[in-house]
Homo-oligomer: A and B are copies of this chain.
């Protein structure tokens, strides 16, 4: 069975990839920028290129569509670059193609805050897609970079789904009916995603889970079953949002960037800058098999489990990463 993780933010070291290999993960979309400028993002790409070269026994970069064919051929982890914000493109629509040429295949239009493109989920008001936002979505459609609205406001997300000529994704979030977190998604969004061939990746980040670190596997899998009824079983996958191994300074960076003069604790109700503990049935990517088992328990058949664990992402990648037809 192919296993693909729709989003992780691993530190630049072997451990997370060794865990992925243990867990049978064949490919992963990793985040390489939040608030990074263009220059800083190029630096991060250079670091990841060197890392994959130096650790070619464990992983490889998926830089073009031909590389997609390698997924699952051996037990190495295929890495796909993505941005959780539009900071890397600055105000330059031409940078979409430049980053696509460098292997970037996902870009969120926002990360919690308002951007030039759209509204983040933490803002009081939601513009929807801005003028520049529409231009950028068109350009992403043209070159084959997936619009990811995981951290966007509802209106912006619905507009992106409607405006984009190609299916989009919410790569790491859960439905609000399961847990009413700020980052989780409304029924309207998941229905619209499903109706347009988009993808929802279920998140294992504790703040997106019912009961957070004490979340139950069966409730998580029941939520997946309910979502499959709403969206269809072809439009869902896993997007763990795993950050295991990152220091708390990185959490502070994600939550505050350089835009804050006071510490912003995001969704953390304890107002803590410590990473929340993962639930015991999914402590790291080595535990992927627990999810597959949980899906069996709630009644999914093998074919559907294969879709959810990786098959749907694989199909979506093939349809999304090349230039528009």
Nearest first, the 3 closest Cβ-Cβ pairs linking A and B are A114-B130, A92-B258, A132-B259
**Closest residue on chain B to residue A37 by CB atoms:** B90
6 contacts between A and B (CB under 8 A): A87-B91, A91-B257, A91-B258, A93-B261, A116-B116, A139-B261
> In the complex, how many angstroms separate the beta carbon of A172 from the nearest chain B beta carbon?
21
Question: Are B119 and A127 touching (Cβ within 8 A)?
Answer: yes
A94-129 CB contact bits vs B (8 Å, 1 = yes)?
A: 100000000000000000011111010011111110
By secondary structure, the A interface counts as loop
List residues of A whose CB falls within 8 A of some B CB.
Answer: 35, 37, 87, 90-94, 113-117, 119, 122-128, 130-133, 135, 138-139, 257-261
Question: Are B138 and A93 touching (Cβ within 8 A)?
Answer: no
Collect the chain B residues with CB atoms within 8 Å of residue A133's CB. Answer: 114
Question: Are A125 and B128 touching (Cβ within 8 A)?
Answer: yes
Collect the chain B residues with CB atoms within 8 Å of residue A260's CB. Answer: 93, 132, 135
Collect the chain B residues with CB atoms within 8 Å of residue A90's CB. Answer: 37, 87, 90, 258
> In the complex, how many angstroms separate the beta carbon of A30 from the nearest chain B beta carbon?
21
**In the complex, A122→B130 CA distance in Å?**
10
Collect the chain B residues with CB atoms within 8 Å of residue A37's CB. Answer: 90
> In the complex, how many angstroms separate the beta carbon of A262 from the nearest chain B beta carbon?
8
Question: Are A93 and B131 touching (Cβ within 8 A)?
Answer: no
Besides the known contacts A113-B116, A114-B114, 16 further A-B residue pairs in the complex with CB atoms under 8 A apart: A87-B90, A87-B91, A91-B259, A92-B259, A93-B258, A93-B259, A93-B261, A113-B131, A114-B127, A116-B116, A123-B130, A123-B131, A124-B128, A125-B127, A132-B259, A139-B261
